A and B are shown apart, each in its own frame.
Chain A
């Protein structure tokens, strides 16, 4: 096992902290999600009146720290679940297209081309505006839209592996498609997929934040970071810090996951077969 570089260590600690916060949000948050506790937009950072709340309060006087903690939970839950959906569907379909080939590959690939030719944000806005937006719907829409990207990568990686002699040997042995996908191809395609997983997670965080900021993502009374930026953005004009806090959190989460993803990418690409990964 090689030593973990400093940047990856920082990334790991921060990502770990975010996930810890997300999992234990109910115990960590000092106040309730929708509990109005103080004045509107109390600003603890550069205003003359100090606030008893660590991060101040939001546009209707709720404790910003508590909302940040609950928002962390929603944001990470959505990003994780939609990445999982994207990876499961994307990679399984991509591998199947590469292994089976022929018209199956053609149909799937052209369908994916079609979806990729439309800007995913606009597509998501159209779909979400006609549907009743709940968490499962959000997860599915984001996951399926993202799975086109994963499909592309998985298929490209698998097409290179399918032509290897060991896959041919497995076919000649009489192995089924399931064995070929999960035992011959998946272990060899894992490195690029894991690295991609990190990147996709970050994009999912940004995507959900964007949707919520535009009002089509997480619906009140639930809150996520993107929605919180939206709620508090008007305060920026008056020098209120409330909108900056969730914005900074989004950036920090994205950067720390990226640090980890970079390290995984480095580590796995240097492993040309053999032990590890």
Chain B
């Protein structure tokens, strides 16, 4: 038990949170989202909340502002901020609390700013509403925060509209907005999750310095243990609305006590041994240049890559680098302007309409969002069975048998065939998508960020499955991802893309070994590592390099 004499800033005791759901055709059900979680945050400290989706971390974060999102209500426990029970303050008490004592930084800054108002107006709004400072003082403070957060032209930054700044800058502007009214506590809800790794590192550093300099306390919510390890003093691991483990950052990442925490810590450590070269490539992309209609910019510039049978080529890059466009060019959805693709020794028609059924069958695709990659009105049996019927003419019992075989292959077993996608978990949905592409007996599967939308442990299972299937079926993967840990775990060769060009390409061992070109170095060094002090090291390293130049 902690010493209760010095009152913590935030003290949540035995918090219970419920939500009522209304399933169609059934009686409303009450679900408990958070089962009695207690936590405290001292002044000026940062507590990281970590867990997979549905663990209740955002719900707990918002409860520190006595707020429940759509139908969610706090049904038990006490929440003290500055020693005051915020559940008993009534509407007036809440107004005093929100935007004054506790502020919030959400995941998607782009969706949280009013596009019709200038940034400055929105950043100082809370300070003015609460009468904390005069308009000129608030603006001066905002400019100071812009400078501290490393935003360009801090004097005039506030005059811009939200669409005139980048995603990373907007996220920092939102942090400035949260810090402007001098709150005691800031709730950061996955503030860097939507950003590219190279942007994430800057935002992370800016947030960390801003927290340190202003002495504010913070709840930092994320699913990425490596990120939270950089900014927090303590970490609480949550699962299914219960606390798994709570300790100092050092203890959680170096000496985890619980099995679940150990699994989270070790999830990124898989290394895949590179396969030896095996002869003629299954797909050769030669000098492909492509652009989208009506945009006179080449999204792909002279891209040439090869994939060998049964191998995995990982295409890495940040958003906008053209990696998904490469997939669209290969599948024929975006016919390239120049260049050609040779698949199985045959030249592929650039246009989807010109391809033979055989070409279509041997080249399959798996999507990032399994949710929208499956027709919600079709059963699993129809989804997996359709390629069997379409390509091989299988019908009736024979088709059902093959569907079950595929379900066994993706380790799902019996009882799933007549379910609808809405009745599957996220990982199961992605597995069904894998089975659907596998049903066509392809030579090459394009995997477009297939694990990005999944929780780390589930993603790990999917990667393992993909590797096993590769061994059994000798299928090649073109694996598009922005996550270098995934690349290490699955790739045989790597193509690094930047602004539509392949800047580095070769076997994994070559690409990931120095000497690096500038961009690959930036990309590799930006991937958060699960150890204390990593962030400072990288930043110091970069400062030294730029000073040397």
Contacts and interface: CB of A to CB of B under 8 A. Distances in A.
**Which 10 A-B residue pairs are closest in the complex by CB-CB distance?**
A273-B376, A187-B377, A274-B422, A165-B373, A174-B360, A2-B25, A166-B375, A270-B24, A274-B420, A165-B367
Given A171-B333, A172-B332, A172-B365, 15 more contacts: A2-B26, A165-B367, A165-B369, A165-B372, A166-B375, A168-B333, A171-B352, A172-B352, A173-B360, A173-B440, A187-B375, A187-B377, A267-B24, A272-B422, A276-B25
Contacts of A210: none
B387 A2 contact: no
Contacts of B378: 183, 187
Nearest to A267: B24
18 contacts: A2-B24, A2-B26, A165-B367, A166-B375, A169-B365, A169-B373, A169-B436, A171-B352, A172-B333, A173-B390, A184-B375, A270-B22, A273-B376, A273-B422, A274-B376, A274-B423, A275-B420, A277-B377
Contact of A273 (B22, B26, B420): B420
A251 B22 CA distance: 35
User: Which of A164, A188, A270: most chain B Cβ within 10 A?
Assistant: A164
Nearest to B387: A173
A1 B420 CA distance: 17
Contacts, number: 67
Interface of B: 22, 24-26, 331-333, 352, 355, 357, 360-361, 364-365, 367, 369, 372-378, 386-387, 390, 420-423, 436, 440
Interface string A234-277: 00000000000000000000000000000000010011111111
Contacts of B357: 174
Interface string A82-115: 0000000000000000000000000000000000
A173 B333 CA distance: 12
Contacts of B373: 165-166, 169
A172 B375 contact: no
Interface residues of A, number: 25
Contacts of B377: 187-188, 273, 277
A184 B378 CA distance: 9
Contacts of B355: 174
A86 to B, nearest CB: 24
A152 to B, nearest CB: 23
Contacts of A187: 375, 377-378
A166 B374 contact: yes
Contacts of A174: 355, 357, 360-361, 390
A273 B421 contact: yes
A31 B440 CA distance: 67
A52 interface: no
Contacts of A270: 22, 24
A188 B365 contact: no
Interface in A190-209: none
Contact of A172 (B22, B331, B369, B386): B331
A175 interface: yes
A188 B375 contact: yes
Contacts of B390: 173-175
Contacts of B22: 270
Contacts of A175: 390
A166 to B, nearest CB: 5
A184 B26 CA distance: 27
Contacts of B365: 169, 172
A271 B377 CA distance: 11
A273 B333 CA distance: 27
Contacts of A1: 25
Contacts of B423: 274
A67 to B, nearest CB: 43
Contacts of A173: 360, 386-387, 390, 440
Nearest to A161: B375
B331 A169 contact: no
A169 B333 CA distance: 11
A105 to B, nearest CB: 15
Interface in A131-185: 164-166, 168-169, 171-175, 183-184
Contacts of B25: 1-2, 276
B449 to A, nearest CB: 12
Contact of B24 (A168, A171, A172, A271): A271
A266 to B, nearest CB: 10
A173 B372 CA distance: 16
Nearest to B448: A165
Nearest to B368: A165
Contacts of B364: 172
B185 to A, nearest CB: 36
Nearest to B365: A172
A208 B376 CA distance: 39
Contacts of A172: 331-333, 352, 360, 364-365
Contacts of A188: 375-377
Nearest to A277: B377
Nearest to B386: A173
Nearest to A270: B24
Contacts of B421: 273-274
A165 B371 CA distance: 9
A2 B24 CA distance: 8
B371 to A, nearest CB: 9
A174 B362 CA distance: 12
A97 to B, nearest CB: 19
Contacts of A271: 24
A174 B423 CA distance: 27
A38 to B, nearest CB: 53
A250 to B, nearest CB: 34
A166 B432 CA distance: 13
A92 B376 CA distance: 21
Interface string A1-33: 110000000000000000000000000000000
A183 to B, nearest CB: 8
A152 B333 CA distance: 27
User: Which of A2, A168, A172, A267: most chain B Cβ within 10 A?
Assistant: A172
A100 B369 CA distance: 24
B152 to A, nearest CB: 35
A267 B25 CA distance: 9
User: Which of B24, B374, B421: most chain A Cβ within 10 A?
Assistant: B24
Nearest to B371: A165
A276 B333 CA distance: 33
Contact of B372 (A166, A183, A275): A166
Nearest to A272: B422
Nearest to A175: B390
Given A169-B365, A173-B386, A173-B387, A164 B372 contact: yes
A48 B128 CA distance: 78
B230 to A, nearest CB: 34
A165 B429 CA distance: 13
A273 B375 CA distance: 9
Nearest to B357: A174
B198 to A, nearest CB: 27
A171 B390 CA distance: 12
Contacts of A273: 376-377, 420-422
B286 to A, nearest CB: 22
Contacts of A277: 377
Contacts of B375: 166, 183-184, 187-188
B35 to A, nearest CB: 27
A229 B110 CA distance: 59
A272 B361 CA distance: 31
A271 B23 CA distance: 9
